[in-house]
Amino acid sequence: MKVVIFSTCVVDLEFPNVGIAMTEVLERFGCDCYLPKDQICCGQPTFNSGYAKGTQRAFRNQIDALLSVDADYIVGPAGSCVAMIREFPEFMKDDPQYADKAREVAAKTFEFSQFLWRVLGVENAGAELDGRATYHRSCHMTRLLGESESPYALLAHVKGLEMIPLENAHDCCGFGGTFSAKEPEISRQMVDAKVGHIVDTGAEILISCDPGCLMNIGGRFNRLGKPIKIMHIAEVLNSNVDESRISYLKQMPV
CB of 114 to another protein, least distance (A): 17
Q: Which of residues 48 and 249 has its CB atom nearest to another protein in the complex? A: 48
CB of 17 to another protein, least distance (A): 7
Report the alpha-carbon distance of residue 242 to residue 39 in Å, rounded.
33
Q: Which of residues 54 and 202 has its CB atom nearest to another protein in the complex? A: 54
- Grouping H, G, I as helix, E, B as strand and the rest as coil, residue 62 is helix
CB of 101 to another protein, least distance (A): 17
Q: Which of residues 49 and 124 has its CB atom nearest to another protein in the complex? A: 49
Q: What is the maximum alpha-carbon separation in the chain?
A: 53
Q: Please, what is the Cα angle at 108 between 106 and 111, to 5 degrees?
A: 85
Render the burial of 60-99: b for 16+ CB within 10 Å, e for the rest: bebbebbbebebebbbbbbbbbbbbbbbbbebbeeeeebe
Q: Which of residues 227 and 251 has its CB atom nearest to another protein in the complex? A: 227
138's torsion region: left (phi>0), alpha (psi -120 to 50) or beta?
beta
CB of 104 to another protein, least distance (A): 20
Whole-angstrom CA distances from 236 to 8, 22, 52, 149, 213 are: 19, 10, 36, 17, 16
Which among 118, 91, 116 is positioned nearest to 105, based on CA atoms? 91
Q: Which of residues 251 and 254 has its CB atom nearest to another protein in the complex? A: 254
Q: Which of residues 25 and 231 has its CB atom nearest to another protein in the complex? A: 231
DSSP code for 165: P
Angle at which helices 99-107 and 79-91 pack, to 10 degrees? Answer: 150
CB of 165 to another protein, least distance (A): 15
CB of 11 to another protein, least distance (A): 6
